[in-house]
Amino acid sequence: AQKVTQAQTEISVVEKEDVTLDCVYETRDTTYYLFWYKQPPSGELVFLIRRNSFDEQNEISGRYSWNFQKSTSSFNFTITASQVVDSAVYFCALSEEGGADGLTFGKGTHLIIQP
Amino acid sequence: GAVVSQHPSRVICKSGTSVKIECRSLDFQATTMFWYRQFPKQSLMLMATSNEGSKATYEQGVEKDKFLINHASLTLSTLTVTSAHPEDSSFYICSARGRNSYEQYFGPGTRLTVT
């Protein structure tokens, strides 16, 4: 069965520091999708990225970057020069069956950016 | 991007009553809708998957007679919590996926409180 592990329950850093959120996944499928979502206190999920299992290229979007390594089944997320507005709970998620299945979420990492 | 709405955003009901939550895709046809539940400070757990015109498929441990799902049209799915009890209090989030697409769009969520 699929599984997503986010070992970091809570991370607290000072503004402008870089921070990396770890995500390790387990799946028997060869075709799957990985996601990162941000959940602010309002509760609404904010989509950050989707990556399919055949695309191991790292991605950068502004201050955000993602490192996908199939060899270690990891899909880590880095925020550079963190800001207070980045404070939220971040979820990593996996969808099997080529992305047709519902998402399996990790337990989430609560990121606190202190001014 | 595609928009998914949920109604109501918040609902308080008395123990023993039933409550219906609507999930609508506003600008696309959702052939598949997913329902998730999130308890406070926990992760999102997939409850069920519904395809338009078919019976929903429930995840293990989710009572199909308690959580009635109807997906009668390509833009609307409903989740009815029957005979609600305080332990059903949770944040319920739907997502929708269009035909031939693996992109899931999440609704803003419904916070249910059973007193």
Identify residues of A whose CB sits under 8 angstroms from chain B CBs. Answer: 33, 37, 42-45, 47, 50, 91, 95, 98-108
Residue B103 has what pLDDT?
Answer: 81
Tokens 């539940």 sit on residue: B37
**In B15-108, at which residue ranges do the beta strands (DSSP E only) sit?**
19-25, 30-38, 44-51, 57-58, 67-73, 76-81, 90-98, 104-106
- How many Å lie between the alpha carbon of B32 and the closest alpha carbon of chain A? 9
Name the stretches of chain B with pLDDT < 50: none
Contact A107 B95 (CB under 8 A): no
In the predicted model, is pLDDT for residue A106 greater than 90?
Answer: yes
Q: Return phi, psi of residue A59, to 5°.
A: -130, 145
Read off the tokens for B34: 């997913």
> What is the predicted pLDDT for the residue at A97?
78
State the smallest CA–CA distance between residue A50 and chain B in angstroms.
9
pLDDT at A6: 98
Compare CB distances from B43 to A43, A44, A105 and report the shortest one's residue. Answer: A105
Please give the pLDDT value at position B52: 85
Residue-level pLDDT at A61? 93
Does residue A99 surpass a pLDDT of 80?
Answer: no
pLDDT single digits (tens) A9-52: 999 999 999 999 999 999 999 999 999 999 999 899 999 999 99
Average confidence (pLDDT) over A52-77: 94
Question: What gap in Å lies between CA B93 and CA B42, rounded to an integer?
Answer: 13
Per-residue H/E/C for B28-43: CCEEEEEEEEECCCCC
Confirm if B89 and B113 have CB atoms less than 8 A apart. yes
B113 Cβ neighbours under 8 A, 6+ residues apart: B10, B11, B12, B13, B89
How many other β-carbons are positioned within 10 Å of the β-carbon of residue A83?
Answer: 12
The mean pLDDT value for A70-86 works out to: 97
Q: Establish if B104 touches chain A: CB-CB under 8 angstroms.
A: yes
- ∠B31-B37-A106 over CA atoms, to 5°? 95
Residues constituting chain A: 115
* Beta strand B76-81 pairing with B19-25: antiparallel
Looking at residue A1, what is its pLDDT? Answer: 80
pLDDT attached to residue A60? 92
Q: Quick check: B102 contacting A, CB < 8 Å?
A: yes
Strand partners, A62: none
The CA-CA-CA angle for residues A47, B90, B112, to 5°, reads 105
Neighbours of A54 (CB within 10 A): 9
